Amino acid sequence: MTTWTDLQDHAAKVKSRRISELFEKDNRAAEFTAESGQFLFDYSKTNIDETARDLLIGLAEGAGVAAKREAMFSGAKINETEGRAVLHTALRNLNGSVIVDGEDVMPEVRATHARMAEFAQAVRAGRYTGQGGRITDVVNIGIGGSDLGPAMATLALAPYHDGPRCHFVSNVDGAHVHDVLKGLDPATTLVIVASKTFTTIETMTNAATAKAWMAAEVADPGAQFAALSTAADLTAAFGIDASRVFGFADWVGGRYSMWGPIGLSLMLAVGPEDFDAMLAGAAAMDAHFREAPFAENLPVLLALVGIWHNQGCGRATRAVLPYDQRLARLPAYLQQLEMESNGKRVSMDGADLVVDSGPVVWGEPGTNGQHAFYQLIHQGTRIVPCEFLVAAEGHEPDLAHQHLLLIANCLAQSEALMRGRSLEEATAIMAKKGLTGAELERQARHRVFPGSRPSTTLLYPKLTPEVFGGIVALYEHRVFVEGVILGINSFDQWGVELGKELALALAPVLDGRSEGAGKDGSTRALAARIRALRGM
């Protein structure tokens, strides 16, 4: 069985080897590429060789990835710290049955999906209206997974929008809700409040603001609200009729929830048919994940590449670089998905981890990033593994020439990261410009690219609903596999709780009801200055 020491020893052994050397074998690209459906995953531009891949697969096998995978899909309570199943996959596979605590959960999943579709069709067809007539705008109020998922998806599937305009409010900063609402007509706006417990402080604060905004012009504001929640008593007290309340079970985590009721805003925008196509794409990736051997399994391979770079090579960050403008929010979505899931310090049994946990995830769409942080990833002192995503075609046939330029930039960046530019090459370039002596050497050194910087590329035909669903499911399962190998629980998030608790305790300090006994000197001083600035 592979150990962390085995992996790290091999990584140290090949550290000085240039990635380009691996391409001396003509079949390198074919042997380090995998396909599934519409996806091709190329990880050949990494320093992973046959030995490294075998070690990584051994690590996955030794961690019991296959057994844990089946436990997840079958409804076992793999979220052990909360005693819950993990079944977001059930939301996108509407056939068959899944048993949790002796009960088949799929009839309720299908019934809720059907209610969502019926409501979405009523809104889109004008059968459900606001006080001012047909709904023109939808405002989704949520935070975390109740915001990032649908916001990302709505942007990603913009070519398929033929329903009301969708807007998203998440930050408790009043500027966010103010700026979203100020351009809308309350009489033709539907507000969706996304909070499982209907108590999330940021969401409910913004919901109250939106309700007051609507009440100024609408006689019955509650009639233009829907809720994505299981708290039927609280949604009723808010004035939302039960027919517009869509609940989901506690085995659906927030950051994995856009496949069900949390995706209602997306369904309103693109319609139930394209929403279901997204579910089908994700379900296809689920099936591939369950059935493909590890050496051909895209989520497993993506996870193993991540493990190699982070825990094997000590690369603490990972850049996600979609060369697809409509995936602009994907890096932010993956920040939550990966860093909230795998940003842990103890294993499932509570023991300290023996290796670092998940990496820092960040990124921007290409080609914008090229004019921002690519300087660092090409010539900086730290190596940042990069993950490129690109479609062979765009949705704008009259702009096909621009899409080819986009693809050229994507492929050029991964090639440049791997190849680099030597001092000799840089010197020759500057010599042709007439430089000589010390100035030639100085200028040439500024133009050296170290190269041998790793990247992967995920290629797909076009960003359709099916492809988009597959991309998100791919990354979900990647996070799961990495978590299993690390031995952690990827499905709780206790790290978000302490700050929430302290924020509630600070409210009376900030408004002067409490002097802040027990608070540290810095916090008390800052609170006092804030009260003074606010004239309190």
Question: pLDDT tens across 300-357, in order?
Answer: 999 999 999 999 999 999 999 999 999 999 999 999 999 999 999 999 999 999 999 9
Domain membership of residue 115 (yes or no) is: yes
**Is 340 annotated in the active site?**
yes
Answer whether 192's CB lies under 8 Å from 140's CB. Answer: yes
Half-sphere exposure of 82 (CA within 13 A, CB side): 14
CATH of the domain at 521: 1.10.1390
Distance CA 310, CA 473 (A): 22
What percent of the chain lies above the pLDDT cut of 90?
93
Distance CA 165, CA 134 (A): 12
**Which of the residues 88, 288, 309, 340 is marked catalytic?**
340
DSSP state of 337: H
Distance CA 476, CA 334 (A): 9
Domain membership of residue 135 (yes or no) is: yes
CATH of the domain at 126: 3.40.50.10490
On whether both 31 and 146 belong to a single domain, the answer is no
pLDDT band at 439 (very low <50, low <70, confident <90, very high): very high
**Which of the residues 13, 15, 25, 371 is marked catalytic?**
371
Tell me the average pLDDT of the chain: 96
DSSP state of 170: -
As beta bridge partners, residue 362 has 319
Residue 175: give the domain boundaries.
Answer: 103-272
Span 226-260, pLDDT tens digits: 999 999 999 999 999 999 999 999 999 999 999 99
- The mean pLDDT value for 37-57 works out to 98
Span 251-300, pLDDT tens digits: 999 999 999 999 999 999 999 999 999 999 999 999 999 999 999 999 99
Task: Give the tokens for residue 513.
Answer: 């009801």
Output helix, strand, coil percentages for the chain, rounded to the nearest 5: 55, 10, 35
Asked if the model's pLDDT at residue 504 lies above 90, the reply is no
What percent of the chain lies above the pLDDT cut of 70?
100
Span 162-187, pLDDT tens digits: 999 999 999 999 999 999 999 999 99
Domain membership of residue 69 (yes or no) is: no
Distance CA 461, CA 493 (A): 35
On whether both 341 and 459 belong to a single domain, the answer is yes
On whether both 26 and 124 belong to a single domain, the answer is no
On whether both 241 and 225 belong to a single domain, the answer is yes
pLDDT band at 202 (very low <50, low <70, confident <90, very high): very high
Task: Give the lowest-confidence range in 62-66, 117-121, 152-156, 520-524.
Answer: 520-524
On whether both 259 and 357 belong to a single domain, the answer is no
Asked if the model's pLDDT at residue 536 lies above 90, the reply is no
Residue tagged 């856009």 (tokens): 258
Q: What is the pLDDT, as a whole number, of residue 227?
A: 98
Q: What is the pLDDT, as a whole number, of residue 496?
A: 86
On whether both 301 and 344 belong to a single domain, the answer is yes
Q: Give the length of the chain.
A: 536
On whether both 319 and 405 belong to a single domain, the answer is yes
Q: What is the pLDDT, as a whole number, of residue 343?
A: 97
For residue 289, give the 3-state DSSP assignment: helix
On whether both 210 and 341 belong to a single domain, the answer is no
Interior/surface letters 295-305, b for 16+ CB within 10 angstroms, e for the rest: eebbbbbbbbb
Task: Give the lowest-confidence range in 33-42, 252-261, 499-508, 522-531.
Answer: 499-508
Domain membership of residue 394 (yes or no) is: yes
Q: What is the pLDDT, as a whole number, of residue 515?
A: 81
On whether both 204 and 319 belong to a single domain, the answer is no
Domain membership of residue 84 (yes or no) is: no
- The mean pLDDT value for 450-464 works out to 98
Domain membership of residue 384 (yes or no) is: yes
Q: What is the pLDDT, as a whole number, of residue 47?
A: 98
On whether both 395 and 471 belong to a single domain, the answer is yes
On whether both 33 and 126 belong to a single domain, the answer is no
**Is 500 annotated in the active site?**
yes
pLDDT band at 507 (very low <50, low <70, confident <90, very high): confident
**Number of folded domains in the chain?**
3
**Is 371 annotated in the active site?**
yes
Asked if the model's pLDDT at residue 499 lies above 90, the reply is no
Widest pairwise Cα distance in the chain? 81
On whether both 243 and 336 belong to a single domain, the answer is no
Span 110-146, pLDDT tens digits: 999 999 999 999 999 999 999 999 999 999 999 999 9
**Which of the residues 15, 25, 178, 500 is marked catalytic?**
500
Residue 449, C-beta contacts closer than 8 angstroms, at least 6 positions apart = 378, 379, 416, 419, 420, 421
Asked if the model's pLDDT at residue 505 lies above 90, the reply is no
pLDDT band at 26 (very low <50, low <70, confident <90, very high): confident
Q: What is the pLDDT, as a whole number, of residue 514?
A: 86
